[in-house]
Structure 1
Amino acid sequence: MATATACPVVGTTNSVLPPNHPEIDLTVDGQTCPVVGAKTEHHHNLHKHPSVPLDEHPTANECPVLKNVVDEPKSKAMDDEVCPVIGPATTVLPPDHPDTTSAKEGDVCPVTKATVGHHKDKVHGHPSVQGAKEGAVCPVAGVKV
């Protein structure tokens, strides 16, 4: 995972789908993930998780590997936490994310289908990128602005 690039939407460097992820052929463009709504054409870098007993590690935040990943220097620099669905991801929303200050507990994110209730007080607004020069690198996700 050390060489993985960050997702420009959620900032995860994890390229392994969770063990309980529905079957999807990532080689076929035009499909939509039933979990987070991502399109397959942007996710050819993802891989299926090795088989594990689901009662042992049903979600990413219980995975012994991913728990340790957030302690790596790159993850700390990106302010990563372990999301139970996508694994390590930055807690900072992308700069173009819709405002969440008036979101209610049951509201659903129009970008990732995440519910506000699961993310309240866990994600933060992105620092302003106004005035950033073209080609500047985001200090949160490490991707070009």
Structure 2
Amino acid sequence: MTTACPVVGTTNDVPPPNHPDVDLSKDGQTCPVVGATTDHHHNLHKHPAVPIENISLTATECPALKQVVSQPKSQAMDDEVCPVIGPATTVLPPDHPDVLKAKEGDVCPVTKATVGHHLNKVHGHPSVQSAEKGAVCPVAGAKV
């Protein structure tokens, strides 16, 4: 069973075919695309080889990923397909800064995502102040 990333809520565990080669068994390496470290990503798998000529390498065009958002689990998590990381929840983590206060050119220090690409596509997380210790987030499946 694939679990959701506690930061961006993606259930996709396969980087795109054009992703730089990274030895996922070694901790301490940082992805140049989204800033994720290999420390927390030992669950990733290399994408099967695909011919790269004349095809789009975005997740939104992947025949497997663009249909996954219609699955009941993806709909329950409010998933959309991000062109970089694939299916991901559109609900930000509870401790995420308010994107409405950010400028269009601002960049997320965690994921390197730009505000301009995410305006009106992501939503604030419901309050978790009254959640019991150990409660599970209905959006990303992470424990509170």
TM-score scaled by length of structure 2: 0.96
Q: How does 1:26-105 map to 2 (within 5 A)?
A: 26-54=24-52, 55-105=54-104
- Once residues 83 and 20 of structure 1 are traced to their aligned partners in structure 2, the CA distance between those partners, rounded to angstroms, is 15
Residue in 1 aligned with 2:118?
119
- For these two proteins, the number of residue pairs brought into alignment is 143
Q: Distance in 2 between matches of 1:103 and 1:41?
A: 29
3-state DSSP class of the match of 1:118? Answer: helix
Q: What is the Cα-based RMSD across aligned positions, in Å?
A: 0.9
Amino acid at match of 2:99: T
| Alpha-carbon distance in 2 for matches of 1:51, 1:99 | 39
How far 1:94 sits from its partner (Å)? 0.4
The CA distance in 1 between the partners of 2:99 and 2:56, in whole Å, is: 31
- Partner of residue 4, structure 2: 6
**SS of equivalent to 1:74:** helix
Q: Report the CA distance shift for 1:11/1:87 in structure 2 as closer, same or farther (over 3 A).
A: same
The whole-number CA distance in structure 2 between the counterparts of 1:89 and 1:14 is 8
1:18 maps to 2:16? yes
Instruction: Return the letter of the residue paired with 1:92.
Output: V
Q: Deviations over 1:9-47 (max 9, x none)?
A: 000010000111111111110011101111101000001
Cα separation, 1, equivalents of 2:117 and 2:10: 17
Q: Distance in 1 between matches of 2:26 and 2:113?
A: 24
Moved over 6 A (4+): none
Q: What is the CA–CA distance in structure 1 between the aligned matches of 2:73 and 2:32, rounded to whole Å? A: 29
Cα distance in 2 for partners of 1:86, 1:77 equals 19
- Residue 117 of structure 2 aligns to a residue whose secondary structure is helix
Amino acid at match of 2:25: T
Q: CA offset at residue 114 of structure 1? A: 0.4
Question: Which letter does structure 1 place at the counterpart of 2:4?
Answer: A
Distance 2:116 2:41 in 1: 26
Please state whether the residue corresponding to 2:99 is helix, strand or coil: coil
TM-score w.r.t. length of structure 1: 0.95
